[in-house]
Amino acid sequence: MSISIQRPKGTQDVTPAEVYKWHTVEQIVKNCAERFGFKEIRIPTFEDTGLFVRSVGDTTDVVQKEMYTVSATGDSTFTLRPEGTAGTIRAAIENGLLNEGFPQKLYYVLSCFRHEKPQAGRLREFHQFGCEMIGAEGPAADADLIALAKSVIDMTGLKNIELNINSIGCPKCRAEYHKALKSYFNQYKDKLCSTCQERLEKNPMRLLDCKSEEDKAIAADAPVILDYLCDDCHAHFDGLQKNLKLMGIDYKVNPRIVRGLDYYTRTVFEFITTDIGAQGTICGGGRYDGLIECLGGKPAPALGFGMGLERLILTMQKQSCEFMEPKTCDIYIAAMGERAIRESIGIISRFRSEGYFVEYDLVGRGLKAQMKYADKIGAKYVMVLGDNELDSGSAKVKNMKTGEQTDISLGEKMLEDFADRYYETLMAEDEMFRNFVEAFGGEND
């Protein structure tokens, strides 16, 4: 009896036919991050559960409902990372990065896990590009981080992405705001969902992030945090806006943005699209000046953002943005007969050593079937090798697009001869790839 095993709910497979889209966005995010001075960090897939309870917040949906927590005999409990910031800050503290001079600029591309109801742009295993900046407290740092996120969005070719910003203050001014929220929501306590009733006393700002439509309607008329900012937070938010204007970055002040994690302070922001339905935030982040001290490090200001790659790709597809074309075979070597098959191995190795993408027959096809297969895999050229070609010292190379055939030498100058005839054509056919490489200031070898 056969057992049908399918991928877990809320996950997805990325097949070779789709992976080039991931290569596109991965190359974009990494190169944009490095242009802004960020260096890659890699952290474990799972962490001690206490890390996320302390950093993300025990009243958040992430901690209360969405974390995947496991344990093994003799071990304490561990949790698959639901986001990248907490683990990155833990790693920075543990590995002494805070002693190496400020600002520390770190980026990552990693998988995260949350037990949520799967929908467009929201999966239980998802992938996130994130940047964290440690040791810079002024609003110029906030603007620079936002500019980095915008550079990624611009490089993908996305349009109609709106930047929303807000300030949620510091612990000092937020205390007064919490009082105002409690006073307001207590009027509607009996109408709130059970989760929000529990949060009302412990963390009333979480009510502004509730997904319940009834609670959203109640929250629509709640007090606004911007009316409660202290002088320092107000000056910081004004400074952010001035820097964004100097950078030519358009934005909208949205006082309802609070983000879903407890570690945020002062600046919060989101890049929003309406092209993928309700889950329209493709990038979100902000400042978290108290997180490092909370996790046992020396107090230091910090800020960061996370960008969901699935949502980014989904939005790019909706807007018909261009992706790097998948690399296809440069030349297929079609050999006939034992002698030609034997000699072709050395020829193939020589081509590959020069960086060409070469394929050849590994399953015993005849010449006609090899030509058909070469066409199927998108080979640009085919070289036919048989006894006659080996005896004459030259072989015909067929352009699979035009059908044109030319002779090239099989001797010492074979690669030089091939490059003289076909290298420029191959590069032209890889134009999309070259455009991406050139956009990042790289070179195509």
- Residues pairing with 317 in the sheet: none
Check whether 445 has a pLDDT greater than 50: no
Q: With DSSP H G I counted as helix, E B as strand and the rest as coil, what are the percentages for the chain, rounded to 5?
A: 45, 20, 35
pLDDT in tens, 186-209: 998 888 888 888 888 878 887 887
pLDDT at 236: 97
At residue 278 the predicted structure's pLDDT band, cuts being 50, 70 and 90, is low
d(CA 324, CA 188): 52
Angle formed by the axes of helices 338-353 and 414-429, nearest 10°: 60
pLDDT at 62: 80
* Class of domain 19-170+230-318 as given by CATH: alpha beta
Residue of 148, 160, 158 whose CA lies nearest to 305 = 148
CB neighbours of 314 closer than 8 A, spacing ≥ 6?
Answer: 120, 121, 276
Check whether 420 has a pLDDT greater than 80: yes
- The domain spans of the chain are 19-170+230-318, 331-429
CB neighbours of 51 closer than 8 A, spacing ≥ 6?
Answer: 79, 86, 87, 90, 295
- Average pLDDT on 131-151 reads 98
Q: How confident is the prediction for the chain on average, in pLDDT?
A: 89
pLDDT at 300: 96
pLDDT at 429: 64
Which residue's structure tokens are 């420029």? 424
- Average pLDDT on 385-405 reads 94
Between 224 and 261, the more confident residue is 224
Residue 196's Cβ-count burial label (10 Å; 0-12, 13-18, 19+) is: buried
- Average pLDDT on 2-30 reads 91
- Average pLDDT on 411-432 reads 80
pLDDT in tens, 79-125: 999 999 999 999 999 999 999 999 999 999 999 999 988 877 788 99
d(CA 114, CA 212): 19
pLDDT at 363: 95
- Average pLDDT on 147-152 reads 97
Q: What does the radius of gyration of the chain's CA atoms come to, in whole angstroms?
A: 28
pLDDT at 118: 80
pLDDT in tens, 346-372: 999 999 999 899 999 999 999 999 999
pLDDT at 256: 85
pLDDT at 442: 45
At residue 64 the predicted structure's pLDDT band, cuts being 50, 70 and 90, is confident
Check whether 59 has a pLDDT greater than 70: no
pLDDT at 228: 93
Check whether 320 has a pLDDT greater than 50: yes
pLDDT at 360: 97
At residue 438 the predicted structure's pLDDT band, cuts being 50, 70 and 90, is low
Residue of 360, 361, 371, 352 whose CA lies nearest to 415 = 352
At residue 440 the predicted structure's pLDDT band, cuts being 50, 70 and 90, is very low
pLDDT in tens, 208-253: 878 788 888 898 889 999 999 999 999 999 999 999 999 999 999 9
**Multiple choice CATH, 331-429, 3.60.21.10, 3.30.465.10, 3.40.50.800, 2.60.40.3080:** 3.40.50.800
Confidence (pTM):
0.87
Check whether 275 has a pLDDT greater than 80: no
Check whether 324 has a pLDDT greater than 50: yes
Phi and psi angles of residue 346, each rounded to the nearest 5 degrees, phi first: -65, -40
pLDDT at 377: 95
